[in-house]
Amino acid sequence: MPTIIQLRPMSIPDAKQICEWRYEPPYDCYNLPSWKNMVEHDTELANESIRQQQYRSLYMGEELIGFIQLFPLLQVLRLAIFLSPAHCNQGLGQAAVTLAVQAAQNIDATAEIDLEVECWNQRAISCYTKAGFVITDQYELMYRGSSKQVYCMVYEGSNN
């Protein structure tokens, strides 16, 4: 029986819980600032408008297992997909990516769908490749004060 994951609007309790997640190295670069910090700076998950427009929570039953971001660019929807530390490497990535792609297509069926992934993150790259993404570019990205080498991967269709 396949694992059923659902997308839901991200609530404030979801956002607070997500801010508490802590990944082990080398994935600790994905740890978010504290909820208090986000509220003080009205950033990311704490900004009501941004949270409602761009973020969705991933649930398995009544358990919050991850979240996605759908970031609109000119004729492109950029995805970010995160599973909680407890749910990484559990075989849930493909279902999460599929839901993210479907959500993007529901927003704009004509937009290109892409994502950025750090070049060292082979676990994520493998998951995205299996879901139908291909590497189209590599570049340096500044993120929270750090320079990172990333691939841009574009969705070309399901490989299933």
As given in the structure block, the two tokens for residue 69 are 């971001």
As given in the structure block, the two tokens for residue 147 are 């320079």
Query: The whole model's pTM is what?
Result: 0.93
Q: What pLDDT digit, counting tens, does each position of 24-81 carry? A: 999 999 999 999 999 999 999 999 999 999 999 999 999 999 999 999 999 999 999 9
- The domain over range 6-155 is classified in CATH as 3.40.50.11540: no
Are 50 and 66 within 8 A, CB to CB? Answer: no
